[in-house]
Structure 1
Amino acid sequence: MRGALFGYQVDGYKDAFVYNGVYEIANAPIKACDPQWKLSPTDMDYQMTFGRQTITQAIDAAATSVVPQYQTISQLPRFSCGNEKFDVIGVLIYMEEKPRTVTTAQQKQLSVREIVIADHSVEQPLVISAWHDLAEVDCDSLSPWSGKFEVVGFTALKVSAHRGFSLATTMSTSIIRSPQGERADGLKEWVGKHRRLLTDMQSRVVDVRKSSNDKTIKKIATLKLKKVSFPQIL
């Protein structure tokens, strides 16, 4: 079940929870969820609410952080059931320069920004859609990205059908600019040995995105030039 934090609660609970942590939560009333705040049709109709009487306690009080369980792109399932989430690490080869605004069926406006990463396990790069606040400041911290090939970690991503197969951020996602561990070190070493390969891949991705944007702009311009004609009434 999902819980919702509003206003001052966001900062108040910022350090209270860690991803994959296990907690006991008391005095958190269960209320109906406003449909406009549902992120997908599969979300539950109810959510926990946190108030002044709410008490949270970590099951393992000694645990202060959870190490991400990074997977390679080739290890990701092409289809995911339920609420499965995945930690991924990769080389940043492309990111949209600024967020886009999309409107949902409920007429809610959301910010989204596409990121493309690659690794040694596959030839095809992976698209990650960053939503909400992550599309703003968190993505801005990754700029400038061209030619740098930084290794970046992402936690709690979900499988999406966008562009055939991709991943999308969730409310639990963190973007880790300087990931640690064996996988991160191995990927950094791989980058050092394959910069030419990554440069070619980056060029192809940028060309495809630029071509797609140009076609969209031309299509809009063409539609604006067309005159609407009405049948004559005899």
Structure 2
Amino acid sequence: MKGTLFENQIKEYGDIFQKDNVYQISNAPLEPVNPKYKDRDGECSIRFGGRTMVQPVTTEIVPNKVHYVPLASVSYESDPDDRYDILGLVLFISDIITITTEHGIEHPVRDISVIDHSANDCLYMDDLTKNKDSKLLSWKTEPVIAGFLGLRVATNRGFTLSSNLSTSIDTNPTGEEFIVFQDWVMANQTELESKIIQLLNTKNPTAEKSILTIEQVINRKGTLDFGSIARVLSSNDFYVAVGPSYILTKKQVLSWVLKDVS
């Protein structure tokens, strides 16, 4: 159940509502939640009006149990209405950058890379610019395990998970799932630290690395030695050019192929 306060309603009801408290609300019509903001099917929202009455109720609160899903189970073909709750180790958080849409609208974006026990590689999330949790942003100095609730799949920038108005981040998760995950992180600390270093080197390449073209590599050796090319590419920055092919995949999508490396 959701409810949004606007303008004067914030002054009227804003001081009444407190986190984890229970209230009896009357004269507040229920409406379907906009699909892009809902967390589950059939979710409704409360519309506050001039006749709405809100009264606190004294009762014992039973917190909702979060059911995290493995990263490996998040499907590229997810429905736009699907929402995912993820428990993961933060590997990298980028600085906030501004992107411009095709309509000329600027949006601040921050990328976050996370990993869990089900995935060999990390998954990227974006749009988490409004979160300023100090614990989340301390990922460089200490391991940060966080729950990311209400994420949706986005494919406009590759395969990522994106936040929305209903997304929340819990930097102090609890429960059995958290304990098991924490044990996994401690048992694989060396490997996970290597992944963090690898991501940092990828996102922030050092200035002393030189960029070589394939032609330069060939001229150095005199012959086309793919083993040498592979070793050079693995230790130097390079640019990859890709473009559409003339082949459709099984899903009737135009596939992209490697065009050039420089």
Shared fold, TM over 0.5: yes
Amino acid at match of 2:5: L
Q: How far off its partner does 1:158 sit?
A: 0.5
Task: Classify 1:65/1:194 alpha carbon distance in 2 versus 1 (closer, same or farther; 3 Å).
Answer: same
| Equivalent in the alignment of 2:184 | 190
Percent of matched pairs sharing the same residue: 23
- Quick check: 1:138–1:175 contact (8 Å CA) kept in 2? no
CA distance, structure 1, for counterparts of residue 104 and residue 17 of structure 2: 29
Matching of residues 122-141 of structure 1 within 5 Å: 122-131=119-128, 135-141=129-135
- Quick check: 1:147–1:199 contact (8 Å CA) kept in 2? no
Task: Classify 1:26/1:201 alpha carbon distance in 2 versus 1 (closer, same or farther; 3 Å).
Answer: farther
Structure 2 SS opposite 1:70: coil
CA distance, structure 2, for counterparts of residue 72 and residue 52 of structure 1: 44
CA distance, structure 1, for counterparts of residue 14 and residue 166 of structure 2: 15
TM-score by length of 2: 0.59
Task: Classify 1:14/1:24 alpha carbon distance in 2 versus 1 (closer, same or farther; 3 Å).
Answer: closer
The correspondence for 1:100, drawn from 97, 100, 119, is 97
CA distance, structure 2, for counterparts of residue 11 and residue 17 of structure 1: 14
Q: How far off its partner does 1:151 sit?
A: 0.9
- Quick check: 2:152–2:162 contact (8 Å CA) kept in 1? yes
Amino acid at match of 2:110: R
| Equivalent in the alignment of 1:231 | none
| Equivalent in the alignment of 2:259 | none
Amino acid at match of 2:138: P
Task: Classify 1:56/1:115 alpha carbon distance in 2 versus 1 (closer, same or farther; 3 Å).
Answer: farther
Q: How far off its partner does 1:15 sit?
A: 4.0
Structure 2 SS opposite 1:167: strand
Aligned residues: 194
Structure with greater Cα Rg: 2
Matching of residues 27-106 of structure 1 within 5 Å: 27-28=28-29, 50-54=48-52, 65-97=63-95, 99-105=96-102
Q: How far off its partner does 1:124 sit?
A: 0.9
Q: How far off its partner does 1:2 sit?
A: 8.0
Structure 2 SS opposite 1:138: coil
Q: How far off its partner does 1:71 sit?
A: 1.1
CA distance, structure 2, for counterparts of residue 117 and residue 136 of structure 1: 18
Task: Classify 1:82/1:161 alpha carbon distance in 2 versus 1 (closer, same or farther; 3 Å).
Answer: closer
| Equivalent in the alignment of 1:208 | 202
Task: Classify 1:54/1:157 alpha carbon distance in 2 versus 1 (closer, same or farther; 3 Å).
Answer: farther
Where structure 1 has 5 or more consecutive residues not aligned to the other structure, the ranges are 40-46, 216-234
Where structure 2 has 5 or more consecutive residues not aligned to the other structure, the ranges are 38-44, 212-262
CA distance, structure 2, for counterparts of residue 157 and residue 4 of structure 1: 20
Q: How far off its partner does 1:187 sit?
A: 1.2
Higher RCO (CA < 8 A, seq sep 6+): 1
CA distance, structure 1, for counterparts of residue 65 and residue 120 of structure 2: 27
- Quick check: 1:26–1:56 contact (8 Å CA) kept in 2? no
Q: How far off its partner does 1:186 sit?
A: 1.0
Structure 1 SS opposite 2:139: coil
Structure 2 SS opposite 1:200: helix
CA distance, structure 1, for counterparts of residue 98 and residue 146 of structure 2: 24
Task: Classify 1:194/1:95 alpha carbon distance in 2 versus 1 (closer, same or farther; 3 Å).
Answer: same
For the aligned residue pairs, the C-alpha RMSD in angstroms reads 4.1
